[in-house]
Chain A
Amino acid sequence: AQRVTQPEKLLSVFKGAPVELKCNYSYSGSPELFWYVQYSRQRLQLLLRHISRESIKGFTADLNKGETSFHLKKPFAQEEDSAMYYCALRGSTLGRLYFGRGTQLTVWP
């Protein structure tokens, strides 16, 4: 069965420090992985997806099929990065996304 695990419910770092939000998944087929971000009281927005191999707002994420991970990284966190981050998976034959429980990131000044 498909599942997305975000082991950290809360994560706090200081401004300028590196940050890594962990995401592990289980899916027997070929997955599509996404990171969504939700700023305070706003809608969920797509941050990035593995297929695009892009960096958005300084964030990157690499799909590691061996470790079944899709961790989100940023070398220097900013206060405006404080938000809830959701990792999501979609299988090649699935119409829906499977979301993790989310990680609330707080970046302190």
Chain B
Amino acid sequence: DAGVIQSPRHEVTEMGQEVTLRCKPISGHDYLFWYRQTMMRGLELLIYFNNNVPIDDSGMPEDRFSAKMPNASFSTLKIQPSEPRDSAVYFCASRLRGNKVGPQHFGDGTRLSIL
């Protein structure tokens, strides 16, 4: 298995633009997590899904952020409009179905820079 796949690996765009980050979880995993990592705040959970349904989105910073999971093999995190303070590394992770003690598997992350 290729693991959790995120795209793009790097994104540089101007403020005000829409940004879409993509994630393909490991096949068979039923939990999917979106994290944001910054020097100042460390690793923050933004939102997570179980069986494609959002369970907890309390970590989403504001209405400019939205996440969807239309099917078990794909999720997006969208920022519209983007701002310089959104610059961070965004990680997606997934967890094995039914494995209560299983670890989360992380993708390589998307390094986002908003100019």
Contacts from A to B (Cβ < 8 Å):
32, 34, 42-46, 49, 51, 86, 92, 95-97, 99-102
Contact = CB atoms under 8 A, between A and B. Distances in A.
> For chain A, what secondary structure do more than half of its interface residues adopt (helix, strand, loop), or is it mixed?
loop
Nearest to A9: B42
**Residue in A43, A49, A86 with the greatest tally of chain B CB atoms within 10 Å:** A43
A97 B31 contact: no
Interface of B: 31, 33, 42-43, 45, 48, 50, 55-56, 91, 93, 100-101, 103-109
B43 A102 contact: yes
A38 to B, nearest CB: 9
A43 B45 contact: no
Nearest to B111: A41
Contacts of B45: 96-97, 99
By Cβ-Cβ distance, the 8 closest A-B pairs, closest first, are: A46-B103, A101-B42, A44-B106, A43-B106, A99-B43, A43-B108, A102-B42, A96-B48
A11 B38 CA distance: 19
Nearest to A42: B108
Contact of B104 (A51, A97, A102): A97
A95 B55 contact: yes
A99 B101 contact: no
B31 A95 contact: yes
B112 to A, nearest CB: 14
A96 B50 CA distance: 10
Nearest to A49: B103
